[in-house]
Every structure is written in structure tokens, then in C-alpha cells.
């Protein structure tokens, strides 16, 4: 990345930034940006265009009969018409729900003359409307008829609807809650429903015809986003020389600096080009191969690396895939992920979905390989079949998986330490990496002496000169080379403190990798349990037995797959972002490289 400090005459600033935007290679620093009225208006318009395009995508798939509708409007007018129609639709649907509920209530009262009710009211007769359970009404009907003028209107769903007529001057008390007097008849309510439905259909036609403007809305939102980016860059320049000059800061990648230099030279402005320093807030642009690029999606859940530090993606990619397979650890489940990934990668047009498809494919492949290594396929042990009996002893059992998880953790942490040492040596000097190298020597020597040598049955004792010398060298580097440039006592004191912290941290980090073993084992055990349930709970009836087994297997394995896949997705991220990043000396960056450009 190259840093450009540019000084522009204030009248030429907008024209110059438009040239940079056309070039599309320079990230202009936008600091302490606060939107003015014009920019807030742009933000609101961009949001409206994007929302409209997103909502209309579902309309476009369901309203295929509108595909041949010709565009006659500009994007702004089309958005206004769509927004008005969509707003009316929301109100009409709310009104339809209300009148539909009202019509259902009015059905009990049948048809009546509202004018007659009003005439009775003027004559001093008031009508009171009630509903009551049919049995209770029959129970009290005779008693009430002696005291009140009751008219039974209807009986629906074991409820009786009735009216009591009283004189307006009469003091009337009744134990039941009174219903609201119907304002319209059931027939009128149905007519209102038809009118509203016709209006809804009209507005839906307008909305569906607006679907042809989806690409126009997207293009307009991108154009306005470009205008907003330009406005932010223009208003973020630092004024100098009583406002006559504007100082801009920009960034360009090293491989495009020639094109940027040519534009700056032809523009006739004064600029300084220099390498960024650690104090600069340098933007980050990742550059990985096709395989590692798939895992940038995972890495960006945490943070991008700080400029001038090592990008962890190429190192994390194979381990994340490996960890995912370890956690899921079943050939059948791996096959499902592999097929799903291929389907997404081949069928999806969206670039992000295709990347997720290939990511799923590689994780499924790792799971399939782990399933083969452990001899597990949908919870069925392959070692029980005669075909696999010759290789039965090769399959990894739970004990081997336990030690395999620990060994994987040690290798992963050593790789992280190696990256940390390389980064310190590269950016600060080799002497700053000696303390980390000392830790690596001690760890490798200890693991070799306690595990590797006994496993290989070599005649090299733990207390031999080789191991004693290696551990002595490592301890010296750890205790006396951790603070280059400081006196020996300061080095030794800080070395002791760092050794205590690192020792407890590495022990905990290593044990944390046992989650790979636990998750892989639990998924396999659950799969086996569901298989046993399917065979044990099925009745001995032909056809019925097979159907019950199939249902139990489908429900059980789908549930187990979902739970295991969630763990296989989350826990490798945890091992990457916590254990690996900490030991690799990862530093998070704040800015993504976002050049001023025309989308």
C-alpha cells in the first residue's frame, strides 16, 4: 500500500476527486465525517432504492405475468409510484383485516334495516345486543321473558344472539356484557370487503409492474452511493492557507501506483508519495489465492489484520476445514455437505452464495475423509462389515482421536508462534523474535522427548545432552531476550513474568483443542443412538416397520446433523480467533480498502 498526501486548490478539489473516482484506484481518507443535510438526503434515498429493489425481487418471482411490461418512467418517478402503492397496500390490508373480522361478527345478526333502528331510537325505544351460551340462554329464557322484551335473532356455534328492547326512560340493568350495536349489515360488510379487495388488486398490479425497475433502482442506489462517497471525500479534506487549499490523504495498492502517479502528474497538483508507517491508519486489502479467498468470509467475522502484519487467512483456511471435519466426523454427513456445496457453487448466480457453496464443499470433503478415517457413516461402524474387516485396525478409535486432537492443537499453536516470530523478525528485526523462538524450542523439545521418542522406540533418553542443550537454549532466549535493548535484570524479570503467563496460557490453549475430540465423539454417539432407536422401536410388521424406521432415522439424523454442524461451524472459529490468533500475535485493523470509484 502507498500513501499519498495531496494539496489541491479549493476550486479544483471537486473536479480532481471526480477524476480519482473515474480512475477508481485511490482510497481517500474520510475522517470524522458528519453528514450534512444534503448527505442525509442521499442516505435516505439510497436506503429507499435498496429497500424497494429488495422487496420487488420477491414480487418479480411471483408476478411472472408482468415480465413483458415496458418501462416508461425514470427511476425516481417509478420509486415514487411504487412507494405510494406499497403504502396504500399496507393500509388497505389492515383495513381488510378489520372489516373481515367485523363481517364475521355481523353474520350473527343477519340483515336488518338501520333506518328502522334509528326510528325506534327517536320513538324512545333502545335496543340492547347480547350473546350467550345456548344452554344458559335456554335456562334463563323463561325468567327473562317475564321481565324483558327479548327477541332471539340467531344461534351459531352453540351461541344464541338476542336483543332486548327497553324504553329510553326506563332504568335498565342486565348481568351480561352488552355488545356493540352493529352499524352496518352483513351484506354491506361483504360489499365493503369486495371494494377493498378490488383496490388491493389495483395497487398490487402497480407494485408488480414496478418489478421491471429493479435493476434501475439498484443502479440508481449505486449512483447515489458514488455521489455520497464523493461528497464525504470532498468534505473530509483539511483546509489550509485560509481555506484556499485542501489537503487530502489517499491510499493506493502497490501494483496500481503507476496509474495513480500518471493521473496525479497530469492533473498538475502537488503530492507526496511515501510508504505507510505503523502510526498511520492504513486501509487493508486482502490478497489470497482462490482456495484461501473462500475462507475470508469466516475470517471477517472477527476482524481484518492490521496493515503491516501477517494475513492469517492462508494459514487458517486448511486448519478451519480440518477442524470442521474433525467436529462432524461422519462420512454420511460429509457427503451431504459435499453435495449441498456443489449444488450452491454450480447453481447460484450470486457470487457470495457461490463462495459459500465452495466453502461448504471443502468442509464436507474434510468431514467425509474424517468419516473414512474413523470408519463412521451415518453412525454405522464400517468395521462391522466383512468388506472393511482387513482395515478395521486402521480406523481411529476414541483413544486415538483424543491424542490426535491434542497433537493437532500443539501443531496449530506452534504454527501460530512461528508466524509471530516471522512477523517480528520481518517488521522489527530478528532479535525481537528470539523470545518466541525460545518458546518454540522448549515446546518442540518437550513434546519430542515425552511423546515422539517413546512412540518411535528410539534410544535417546530425555536427559541426554541433545535435549538438555535444546531446553537450555530455549530457556535462555525466553528469559533474557524478550526485551531487546534493555538491561539483563529487566529482561530476566519480564522474562519470568511472561514465562508464567505463557506457560499457563499455552496449557489451557492446548487443552482447548480437546473440544474437537468431544464434538466428533458426541455426534457419532448420537448418530448411533438414533440408529438403535430406529431398529428397537419399530414394530415387527412388514412395511410398517420400514416406515417407522425411516421416520425415526430421518428425524434423528436431521436433528443430529443440524446440532453437529452448528458446533462444527462455531468451535473451529473459536480455536482460530482465540487460541491461534493470540499465539500468532494477530493485530486487528480498522479500515477496509474502499477506493473512490464509479460502481
Evaluate whether 445 touches 470 at the Cβ level (below 8 Å): yes
State how far the Cα of 291 lies from the Cα of 387, in Å rounded to an integer: 35
The angle formed by the CA atoms of residues 375, 377 and 381, to the nearest 5 degrees, is 50
Residues with Cβ within 8 Å of 374's Cβ and at least 6 positions away in sequence, in order, are 329, 330, 395, 396, 401, 520, 524
Phi, psi of 483 (to 5 degrees): -130, 80
Q: How many CB atoms lie within 10 A of CB 136?
A: 12
Element (H, E) at 2: strand 2-9
Domain ranges in the chain? Answer: 2-86+212-274, 113-181, 290-584
Task: Write out the three cell numbers for 331.
Answer: 462420512
Task: Write out the three cell numbers for 148.
Answer: 324483558
495-518 per-residue burial string, b: 16 or more CB within 10 A, e: under 16: beebbeebeeebeebbebbebbbe
Evaluate whether 370 touches 325 at the Cβ level (below 8 Å): yes
Residues with Cβ within 8 Å of 94's Cβ and at least 6 positions away in sequence, in order, are none
524-538 per-residue burial string, b: 16 or more CB within 10 A, e: under 16: bebbbebbeebeeeb
What are the per-10-residue average pLDDT scores of the chain (599 residues)? Answer: 89 89 88 78 92 84 55 88 92 93 86 82 88 89 86 88 87 86 86 93 90 91 90 84 86 89 88 84 87 87 83 91 93 93 89 90 94 90 79 83 90 90 79 82 79 65 70 78 69 70 78 91 90 86 87 92 93 92 84 85
How many CA atoms within 13 Å lie on the side-chain side of 201?
Answer: 6
State how far the Cα of 326 lies from the Cα of 324, in Å rounded to an integer: 5
Evaluate whether 272 touches 5 at the Cβ level (below 8 Å): yes
Evaluate whether 300 touches 285 at the Cβ level (below 8 Å): no
Evaluate whether 249 touches 273 at the Cβ level (below 8 Å): no
State how far the Cα of 211 lies from the Cα of 53, in Å rounded to an integer: 8
State how far the Cα of 590 lies from the Cα of 306, in Å rounded to an integer: 7
Element (H, E) at 54: helix 37-62
DSSP annotation of 464 reads S
Range list of H helices, 349-464: 351-374, 398-427, 434-447, 453-456
Beta bridge pairs of residue 179: 129
Q: How many CB atoms lie within 10 A of CB 36?
A: 11
State how far the Cα of 594 lies from the Cα of 20, in Å rounded to an integer: 13
State how far the Cα of 402 lies from the Cα of 515, in Å rounded to an integer: 10
Q: What's the pLDDT score for residue 561?
A: 93
State how far the Cα of 259 lies from the Cα of 250, in Å rounded to an integer: 14
What would you report as the CA-atom Rg of the chain, rounded to the nearest whole angstrom? 37
DSSP annotation of 248 reads E
Strands 376-377 and 270-274 turn out to be unpaired
Q: How many CB atoms lie within 10 A of CB 449?
A: 20
Q: How many CB atoms lie within 10 A of CB 487?
A: 8
The angle formed by the CA atoms of residues 265, 271 and 277, to the nearest 5 degrees, is 130
Beta bridge pairs of residue 592: 284
Element (H, E) at 22: helix 13-23
Q: What's the pLDDT score for residue 60?
A: 63
Residue bearing cell 420477491: 58
Give CA separation, 157 vs 107, 131, 135, 507, 577, in Å. 12, 11, 12, 71, 62
Q: What's the pLDDT score for residue 364?
A: 94
Amino acid at each position: 500500500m502507498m500513501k499519498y498526501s495531496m494539496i489541491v486548490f479549493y476550486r479544483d478539489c471537486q473536479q480532481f476527486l471526480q477524476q480519482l473516482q473515474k480512475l477508481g484506484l485511490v482510497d481517500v481518507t474520510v475522517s470524522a465525517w458528519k453528514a450534512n443535510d444534503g448527505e442525509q438526503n442521499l442516505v435516505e434515498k439510497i436506503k429507499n432504492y435498496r429497500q424497494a429493489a429488495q422487496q420487488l425481487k420477491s414480487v418479480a418471482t411471483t408476478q411472472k405475468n408482468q415480465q413483458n411490461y415496458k418501462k416508461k418512467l425514470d427511476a425516481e418517478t417509478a420509486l415514487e409510484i411504487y412507494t405510494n402503492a406499497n403504502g396504500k397496500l399496507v393500509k388497505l390490508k389492515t383495513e381488510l383485516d378489520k372489516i373481515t373480522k367485523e363481517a364475521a361478527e355481523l353474520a350473527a345478526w343477519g340483515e336488518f334495516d338501520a333506518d328502522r333502528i334509528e326510528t325506534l331510537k327517536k320513538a324512545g325505544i333502545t335496543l340492547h345486543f347480547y350473546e350467550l351460551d345456548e344452554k344458559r340462554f335456554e335456562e334463563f329464557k323463561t325468567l327473562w321473558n317475564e321481565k324483558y322484551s327479548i327477541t332471539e335473532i340467531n344461534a351459531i356455534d352453540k351461541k344464541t344472539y338476542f336483543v332486548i328492547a327497553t324504553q329510553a326512560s326506563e332504568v335498565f340493568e342486565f348481568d351480561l356484557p352488552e355488545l356493540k350495536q352493529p352499524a352496518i349489515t352483513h351484506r354491506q360488510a361483504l360489499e365493503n370487503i369486495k371494494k377493498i379487495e378490488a383496490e388491493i388488486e389495483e395497487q398490487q398490479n402497480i407494485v408488480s409492474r414496478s418489478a421491471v425497475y429493479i435493476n434501475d433502482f439498484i443502479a440508481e442506489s449505486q449512483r447515489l452511493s458514488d455521489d455520497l462517497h464523493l461528497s464525504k471525500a470532498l468534505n473530509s479534506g483539511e483546509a489550509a492557507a485560509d481555506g484556499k487549499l485542501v489537503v487530502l490523504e489517499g491510499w493506493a495498492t502497490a501494483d496500481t501506483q503507476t496509474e495513480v502517479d500518471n493521473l496525479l502528474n497530469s492533473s498538475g497538483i502537488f503530492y507526496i508519495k511515501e510508504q505507510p508507517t505503523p502510526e498511520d491508519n492504513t486501509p487493508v486489502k486482502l490478497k489470497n489465492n482462490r482456495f484461501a479467498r473462500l475462507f475470508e468470509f469466516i475470517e471477517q467475522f472477527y476482524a481484518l489484520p492490521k496493515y503491516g502484519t501477517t494475513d492469517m487467512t492462508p494459514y487458517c483456511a486448511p486448519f478451519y476445514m480440518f477442524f470442521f471435519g474433525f467436529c462432524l466426523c461422519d462420512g454420511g454427513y460429509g457427503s451431504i455437505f459435499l453435495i449441498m456445496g456443489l449444488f450452491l457453487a454450480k447453481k447460484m448466480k450470486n457470487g457470495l452464495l457461490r463462495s459459500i457453496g465452495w466453502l461448504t464443499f471443502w468442509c464436507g470433503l474434510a468431514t467425509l475423509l474424517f468419516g473414512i478415517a474413523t470408519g463412521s457413516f451415518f453412525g454405522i461402524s464400517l468395521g462391522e462389515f466383512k468388506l472393511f474387516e482387513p482395515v478395521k485396525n486402521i480406523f481411529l478409535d476414541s483413544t486415538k482421536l483424543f491424542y490426535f486432537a491434542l497433537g493437532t492443537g500443539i501443531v496449530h499453536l506452534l504454527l501460530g508462534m512461528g508466524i509471530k516470530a516471522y512477523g517480528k523478525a520481518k517488521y522489527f528485526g530478528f532479535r525481537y523474535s528470539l523470545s518466541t523462538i525460545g518458546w518454540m524450542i522448549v515446546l518442540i523439545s518437550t513434546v519430542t522427548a515425552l511423546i515422539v521418542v517413546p512412540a518411535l522406540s528410539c534410544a535417546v533418553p530425555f536427559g541426554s545432552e541433545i535435549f538438555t542443550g535444546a531446553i537450555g537454549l530455549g530457556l535462555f532466549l525466553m528469559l533474557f531476550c524478550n526485551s531487546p535493548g534493555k538491561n539483563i535484570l529487566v529482561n530476566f524479570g519480564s522474562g519470568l513474568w511472561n514465562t508464567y503467563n505463557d506457560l499457563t496460557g499455552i496449557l489451557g490453549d492446548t487443552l482447548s483443542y480437546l473440544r474437537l475430540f468431544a464434538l466428533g465423539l458426541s455426534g457419532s454417539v448420537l448418530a448411533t443412538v438414533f440408529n438403535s432407536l430406529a431398529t428397537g422401536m419399530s414394530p415387527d410388521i412388514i412395511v410398517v416397520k420400514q416406515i417407522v424406521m425411516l421416520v425415526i432415522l430421518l428425524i434423528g439424523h436431521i436433528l443430529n446433523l443440524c446440532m453437529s454442524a452448528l458446533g462444527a461451524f462455531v468451535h473451529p472459529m473459536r480455536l482460530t480467533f482465540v487460541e491461534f490468533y493470540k499465539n500468532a500475535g494477530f493485530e486487528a485493523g480498522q479500515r477496509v480498502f474502499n477506493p473512490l470509484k464509479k460502481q
